[in-house]
Amino acid sequence: MIAIIGGSGLNNLSALEQVSEKWVDTPYSEGGVLVTQGHLPGVELPVCFLPRHGKGHVLPPHRINYRANLYALHELGVRAVLAVNAVGGITSATGPGAIVIPDQVIDYTWGREHTFFDGSDSGLSSPDKFSQTVAHVDMTNPYDELLRTLLQDASVNLRHPVVTQAVYGATQGPRLETPAEIKRLAQDGCDIVGMTGMPEAALARELGMAYASLALSVNWAAGISQEEITMEAIHRVLEEGMAVIEQLLLVAVQR
Ligand code: HPA
């Protein structure tokens, strides 16, 4: 089964039909995780939808319970995740409105619960289903190539240009970066910057789920353009861009 994780600007999937909501208990969360399940037109299997920031967009990026979210999806039988992320653009092809399918990631986040394998055998951090307490998953290809191809093919079908190779720099937030920080990210090779790409991708890998990101650039990263970054401008780009992202997801899942 496939799941879509929605980010800023994508709090539900408008094409989803016969929708039901499920609370999924996890060892990582009090009260469980709310996941929406439903059917997309032309898709046989049900599709799960999980708004990363919680219902009503209440959780900032550093407070999201990434472990609980991914564990809940895995519990429901999800084995492929398409994650939607709003990002800032650093390199010329990734300006506001650009849709980007990253192929690499650099993790600058800190203090987040970022692994299911933290070496402890306390009930919470080491649920029974993980037989190991230590594991080092391979992140040579942090995003699943089949899912990336699926997204690229869907974009060709839609005749919407996408940037098909990019390095995602994951920052802690919730503040935006300083121009000096963005300069450093650019020197490191980052093309886009966002606050939610990690540890999500790594946790999906730890659970053996295929994972890819569909990123929408909603602003030039700090210092790249002379223009001030305003939430107003970001919301304008989000609204238009997420409509395209929804279409793209639908075509991808129908394939
Ligand atoms: N930086 C970090 N995260 C973001 C940005 C940004 O400029 N825009 C949207 N998410």
pLDDT band at 126 (very low <50, low <70, confident <90, very high): very low
3-state secondary structure string across the chain:
CEEEEECCCCCCCCCCEEEEEEEEEECCEEEEEEEEEEECCCCCCCEEEEECCCCCCCCCHHHCCHHHHHHHHHHCCCCEEEEEEEEEECCHHHCCCCEECCCEEEECCCCCCCCCCCCCCCCCCCCCCCCCCCCCCCCCCCCCHHHHHHHHHHHHHHCCCCECCCEEEECCCCCCCCHHHHHHHHHHCCCEEECCCCCHHHHHHHCCCEEEEEEEEEEECCCCCCCCCCHHHHHHHHHHHHHHHHHHHHHHHHC
- Report the mean per-residue pLDDT for the chain: 93
pLDDT band at 105 (very low <50, low <70, confident <90, very high): very high
Distance from Cα 18 to the centre of ligand 1, integer Å: 34
Residues 96, 89 contacting (CB under 8 angstroms): yes
**Structure token pair of residue 22:** 């499920």
Strands 167-170 and 192-194: parallel
Ligand 1 pocket member 176 (CB < 6 A): yes
Q: What is the pLDDT of residue 132?
A: 63
Distance from Cα 196 to the centre of ligand 1, integer Å: 9
Q: What is the pLDDT of residue 33?
A: 96
- Nearest-atom number in ligand 1 for the CA of 220 is 7
Residues 168, 87 contacting (CB under 8 angstroms): yes
**Structure token pair of residue 43:** 């898709």
Distance CA 71, CA 73 (A): 5
pLDDT tens readout for residues 190-219:
999 999 999 999 999 999 999 999 999 999
Q: What is the pLDDT of residue 157?
A: 87
Ligand 1 pocket member 215 (CB < 6 A): no
Ligand 1 pocket member 216 (CB < 6 A): no
Residue with the two structure tokens 């970066």: 177
ipTM: 0.99
Q: Count the alpha carbons within 13 Å of 219 in the hemisphere toward its beta carbon.
A: 19
What sign for the dihedral angle of Cα 214, 219, 177, 53?
negative
Distance from Cα 214 to the centre of ligand 1, integer Å: 14
Q: CA 116, 167, 164: angle at the middle one, nearest 5?
A: 110
